[in-house]
Structure 1
Amino acid sequence: MNSTRRKALLAAPLTSLALLTLAACGGGAADHGAASEGGAAKPAKPAKTVSIKTADSELGTILVDDSGRTLYGFTKDKPGASNCDADCIAVWPALTSSKDVKAGPGSKASLLKETKLGEGAEQATYGDWPLYYYVGDATPGDVNGQGLDGEWFVVAADGKLVKKTV
């Protein structure tokens, strides 16, 4: 076996291990409270226009974006303020938009707000919860982040975290 092929065969399991390690992130407050350069976590690239709606799932009626991707809340966040640092954002990208996020079918406009993240981006919040995606959700409707580390939960239409398991 040549060395290039051997390296490729070794890289696949290592890549999988790295992704699993990232997926397990959540740890203690120090893992999520550290700030990046400039004192704030760097947000994911802002979307052009975003709306929030509800969808039926195995956890009940939950919040999703226009594409049906599940939205999560982080129990270590403060009401309306993110406590997810740059390492955390790599696994839990914030729902950001350079324009106002709109309330779609099933969601309540009165619960939808935004918080500034810097660089002109704003993170959508619903109720008290800044909203995030989970990189482990491959397709619309996935809820693979539910309950991870006892800190990440889908958000219901009433703005509360759904803490049951699948």
Structure 2
Amino acid sequence: MRRTLLGTAVVAFALLALAPAAMSGESVAPTLAVKSSSFGRVLFDGRGYVLYAFTRDKNGRSACYGACAKAWPVYYAKGTLRAGTGIKRSLIGTTKRRDGRRQITYAGRPLYYYVGDTRPGQILCQNVVEFGGTWLIVRPGGKLVR
């Protein structure tokens, strides 16, 4: 019985941890939005999950693959991206990943989720150094929050 409960708890935690990754595979067109946070107004997806940029990414290309992409799921482009109020359409773009899929960029920066942000509005890894770079949230004008 104890093993079953422990196994169930582990599976439940894993599913919660994968919530942002599942969102990046959503079947509806992705949405970029600006919302208020404890860091001021920053970028979120249409479901209220914050989006991060990685300082190791250069020239609009992602440097986050393998274990990095598991901890920091990619914000993929599927269909036409919707730009919410406060989003500058001229700053929206995409970059091609090694697997050929398109990752959404903003101001030339590839965008990611953090797997630990399991609820809309959570910002658990702002200004965190991991995988050889710093993870930062993004302002509507494209600047990183430091």
State the TM bucket, normalised to the shorter chain: 0.7 to 0.9
Q: Of the candidates 55, 59, 82, which is equivalent to residue 102 of structure 1?
A: 82
1:132 aligns with 112
Q: Flag as ranges the 4+ runs of structure 1 deviating above 3 A.
A: 6-13, 44-48
Measure how far apart 1:8 and its partner are: 5.9
Aligned partner of 1:158 in structure 2 is 141
Counterparts of 1:47 and 1:67, CA distance in 2? 13
TM-score, normalisation: structure 1: 0.70
Spell out the pairing of 1:1-166 with structure 2 (5 A cutoff).
5=2, 45=25, 47-149=27-129, 151-163=134-146
Q: Verify the 8 A CA contact 2:83 2:89 in the aligned structure 1.
A: yes
Q: Is the 8 A contact 1:114 1:123 kept in 2?
A: yes
Q: What is the alpha-carbon distance in structure 2 between the residues aligned to residue 95 and residue 10 of structure 1? A: 30
Distance 1:97 1:151 in 2: 23
- Structure index of larger Rg: 1
Distance 1:5 1:159, change over 3 A: same
CA distance in 1, matches of 2:3, 2:82: 50
Distance 1:159 1:135 in 2: 22
**Which structure ranks higher in relative contact order (CA pairs < 8 Å, sequence separation ≥ 6)?**
2
Q: Which has the higher helix share?
A: 1
The aligned amino acid for 2:69 is I
Aligned partner of 1:151: which letter?
A: T
Q: CA RMSD in A?
A: 2.7
Gaps of 5+ in 2: 14-23
Mark the CA change 1:10 to 1:119 in structure 2 (over 3 Å): closer, same or farther. closer
In structure 1, stretches of 5+ residues that fail to align are 17-43
Instruction: Indicate how the Cα distance of structure 1 residues 55 and 82 shifts in structure 2: closer, same or farther if over 3 A, else same.
Output: same
Matched pairs, number: 134
* Cα separation, 1, equivalents of 2:93 and 2:52: 15
Percent identity between the two aligned chains = 39
How far 1:99 moved relative to its partner?
1.7
Asked if 1 retains the 8 angstrom alpha-carbon contact of 2:30 and 2:78, the reply is no
Change in Cα spacing, 1:96 to 1:6, as seen in structure 2 (3 Å) is closer
Does the Cα contact within 8 Å between 1:102 and 1:109 map onto a contact in 2? no
